[in-house]
Structure 1
Amino acid sequence: MNPGMQQMIMFGLIIVVFYFFMIRPQMKKAKDQKKYIDELKRGDKVITTAGIHGKIVDITDTTFLIEVESGTKIRFDKSAISLEASKALNATKA
């Protein structure tokens, strides 16, 4: 086997490793995040990526209206909801 062919095989293996250890898990995480956000409904308790805790009071196509403890309502983009933190919050309160 010539050295050029060995380099090509090694390069191909590096690409496969990157796919399985970096790209694929990131795609799965994004898919799980989207599914979680699509399943949220009024009354669900969430935590935003900024760390704000609240309860969903209204949902539009792209935003959530969240009520915090003081009664203040704040509108957030759906992408601002933290999947891991919100699941942990609901698991401890269940």
Structure 2
Amino acid sequence: MPQQSIISLILPFVLFMGVLYIFIILPDKKRKKQYNSMLEGLRVNDEVITRGGIIGKITRIQDEFIIIESGPDKVKFKLSKNGIATTTSALKEEK
């Protein structure tokens, strides 16, 4: 009898962990994979949106940094690749 009570206590926990994995962890892994492939696919002249909301065009790509040009005065920013939120072409594809 004691084993049946242990199983009845553990089963809901295992089911909850399975649901958590399916609905939270798997979609997050997919989203991270898409984001990393987007970062790997960045090219010069791509238009990007930074996490801070700045829209600009990539002028140079270095190892882990990119330089973007923004605004009518062609102001240049150097930022980490992880500072890129998305590309404008990705936004157009979603619509």
For Structure 1 versus Structure 2, the TM-score category normalised by the shorter chain is: 0.7 to 0.9
Which residue in 2 is equivalent to 1:76?
79
Larger radius of gyration: 2
Following the alignment from structure 1 to structure 2, what is the Cα–Cα distance between the partners of residues 50 and 3?
53
Alignment partner of 2:63: what SS? Answer: coil
Following the alignment from structure 1 to structure 2, what is the Cα–Cα distance between the partners of residues 63 and 16?
38
Q: Which amino acid aligns with 1:7?
A: L
Higher strand share: 2
Runs of 4 or more above 3 Å deviation: none
Give the superposed CA RMSD.
1.6
Number of aligned residue pairs: 89
Structure 2 segments unaligned to the other structure (5+ residues): none
Task: For 1:54-93, list aligned pairs within 5 A.
Answer: 54-69=56-71, 70-83=73-86, 86=88, 87-88=90-91, 91=92
Which residue in 2 is equivalent to 1:22?
24
Structure 1 segments unaligned to the other structure (5+ residues): none
**Residue 16 (structure 1) shift:** 0.5
